[in-house]
Amino acid sequence: MSLCEYLPRLDSISVKISLGDDVEPTITEIAFVKTSLVVVTRTTKHTVKLPVENRDHLKDAKITQILAKGSILSLRVSLNRSQDPASFTSLSSSKTQKWSVSDLVRTPKDANNINTFLFLCAYCNATVVDSRDNKYADMPSEYWHELMDFWHCHKPHQKHHENHSKNYGAIVPKDNHVYIGASYLFLKRSSSGCFSCKRNLGELTNDTAKLYKWNLKLQYGDITESFPPYAYSYYAILDRINSGALRKLQVQCDNGAVRLWILSVGLSVSYDSYVLDKALKILYTDKKDPETEVLDVPSEVYDSLIFVLRESTSLLPESEQTVQMDEAFKVGFLAPEMIPS
């Protein structure tokens, strides 16, 4: 087992390798092989995937620290790159979310210079939304009402707003318009179900539907993308960080709750066979706290989040799986996509 974390301010990678029974290792070789670090002892060869995009990032890399303590070998890899490393907070200032308009405008265009893509039912692949039939716009932050005090001198709920025709209440999509939220498509539709397989894809209010992205696929050209349910938690957490600088949240549904403490955002991390980009490093516990702000999510999102957090914890070196603060927390990671390489 291993854990590698890129430290952008130091432009270096912290590497921790579990040695198992080899508690007093004699290192015979250390080398960079493609995008991996290979450490050879007298008894074992450890190959650790590093969180870098390509071999060029390791061109001037050097091992600047080695420490063996118990069953953990710790190393520091200094990359010594000439460019300025990205700020570790850069992701929290980004509003880009998966399948936003900025993603859709990069899809192929037809002869009329119109982007061509389809949103499909995730269960039967039937077409749900065709790009050629609609216009698209991103929704504002999920928590834009909470920021109203900072935006308006005169609030929409105050009486002076009764003297004009503007509506500052609920956002309602126009005909042939699709509004894209962090986790859903919002459009006029007679049903929230798939017209082909009848599976429910979201929720219906009057004649408007919110279709959850995890019930859809995005298809363009020869590419088909999916949206895992845990990705909603990821973007919702980022939205809370952006809107209120919150780092502690209690994510809950009808089936349970988990309390999170977000330590870092925008991390490049590797462990086991996973290489994550734009990851959140999270401390979590099942113990509830009535003082912690709540993030309510659908049950399938909660179950997906719990699964990936626990799986990430189980794949870390044992010494890295828990942290003792004023109470015990488990350590996990969350990224927009968590697929083994």
| 271 and 213, same domain (yes or no) | no
Residue 157 reports pLDDT greater than 70? no
Question: Domain ends where: 210, 226, 242?
Answer: 226
CA–CA separation, 206 and 84 (whole Å): 51
| 136 and 218, same domain (yes or no) | yes
Q: What is the mean pLDDT of residues 334-341?
A: 88
Q: What is the mean pLDDT of residues 215-242?
A: 92
Domain membership of residue 307 (yes or no) is: yes
| pLDDT tens readout for residues 160-201 | 444 544 444 567 888 999 999 888 999 999 999 999 999 999
**Which residue do the tokens 């935006």 mark?**
151
| 70 and 125, same domain (yes or no) | no
Question: Domain ends where: 183, 199, 226?
Answer: 226
Total tally of structural domains belonging to the chain: 3
| 214 and 254, same domain (yes or no) | no
| pLDDT tens readout for residues 250-303 | 999 998 999 999 998 888 999 998 999 999 999 999 998 889 999 999 999 999
DSSP string, 68-83: EETTEEEEEEE---SS
Domain membership of residue 181 (yes or no) is: yes
Domain membership of residue 159 (yes or no) is: no
Domain membership of residue 48 (yes or no) is: yes
Domain that holds residue 218: 100-105+115-146+172-226
Query: CA separation (Å) from 14 to 5, 28, 64, 66?
Result: 5, 20, 10, 10
Q: Residue 167 has which token pair?
A: 């509506």
Residue 1 neighbours by CB under 8 Å, 6+ apart: 17, 18, 271, 272, 315, 316, 317, 318
| 198 and 295, same domain (yes or no) | no
| 37 and 61, same domain (yes or no) | yes
Total-model pTM: 0.81
Residue 54 reports pLDDT greater than 70? yes
Question: Domain ends where: 201, 226, 251?
Answer: 226
Query: CA separation (Å) from 189 to 136, 210, 211, 213, 217?
Result: 15, 9, 10, 16, 18
Q: Residue 3 has which token pair?
A: 């854990």
**Beta sheet of 216-220, edge-to-edge order:** 127-130, 118-121, 216-220, 223-226
| 319 and 292, same domain (yes or no) | yes
